[in-house]
């Protein structure tokens, strides 16, 4: 099922990457906005099935957009797609009303899973191809699932192979 998705990001390059990823996932009805103000106009014109929002944008950032949308629409599924990976930022976004959170960079599989989780939770399993959707954090007081936790800043090292004597 192709969803009507509004993609909100100030970077045209990032929007193109995400649009291509969404197309790979079978979502071809994608509208774009470069900031929160443009997004509000697009939502007023035609309410999307899903909102993908970046945090850092000019004019109206993603968090302000989410708060504004939630003043009048508590049902519109919203996924924050951003480089903001600190736990406090994730919690702030959840408190503002996002349904899910994806940290850039991400794989197409990760974005697809987040869309499926979000739509299953908000709209119901019939709206997606999900068979067993993972739970989406419903309240700020719940622990953040490892799938939305900040990436480790500790470099991963692989031990060097032992040399034969």
Residue 154 lies in a domain: no
CATH number for the domain including 26?
Answer: 3.40.50.2300
Q: Residue 53: inside a domain, yes or no?
A: yes
In a domain, 104, yes or no: yes
Q: Encode the chain (165 residues) as per-residue pLDDT tens digits.
A: 689 999 999 999 999 999 999 999 999 999 999 999 999 999 999 999 999 999 999 999 999 999 999 999 999 999 999 998 999 999 999 999 999 999 999 999 999 999 999 999 887 755 444 333 333 333 333 333 334 444 444 344 444 444 454
| Structural domain containing residue 106 | 4-148
**Do 114 and 100 touch, CB atoms closer than 8 A?**
yes
Cβ-based neighbours of 65, under 8 Å, separated by 6 or more: 8, 36, 39, 40, 53
In a domain, 9, yes or no: yes
| Structural domains of the chain, count | 1
């Amino acid at each position: 099922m192709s969803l009507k998705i509004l993609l909100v990001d100030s970077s045209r390059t990032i929007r193109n990457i995400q649009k291509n990823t969404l197309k790979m996932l079978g979502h071809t009805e994608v509208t774009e906005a470069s900031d929160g103000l443009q997004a509000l106009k697009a939502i007023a014109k035609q309410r999307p099935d899903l909102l993908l929002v970046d945090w850092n944008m000019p004019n109206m950032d993603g968090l302000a957009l989410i708060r504004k949308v939630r003043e009048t629409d508590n049902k519109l599924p919203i996924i924050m797609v951003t480089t903001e990976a600190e736990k406090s930022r994730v919690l702030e976004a959840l408190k503002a009303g996002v349904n899910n959170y994806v940290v850039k960079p991400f794989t197409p599989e990760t974005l697809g899973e987040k869309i499926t989780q979000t739509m299953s939770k908000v709209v119901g399993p019939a709206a997606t191809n999900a068979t067993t959707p993972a739970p989406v954090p419903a309240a700020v007081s719940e622990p953040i699932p490892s799938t939305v936790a900040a990436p480790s800043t500790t470099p991963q090292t692989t031990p060097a192979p032992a040399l034969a004597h």
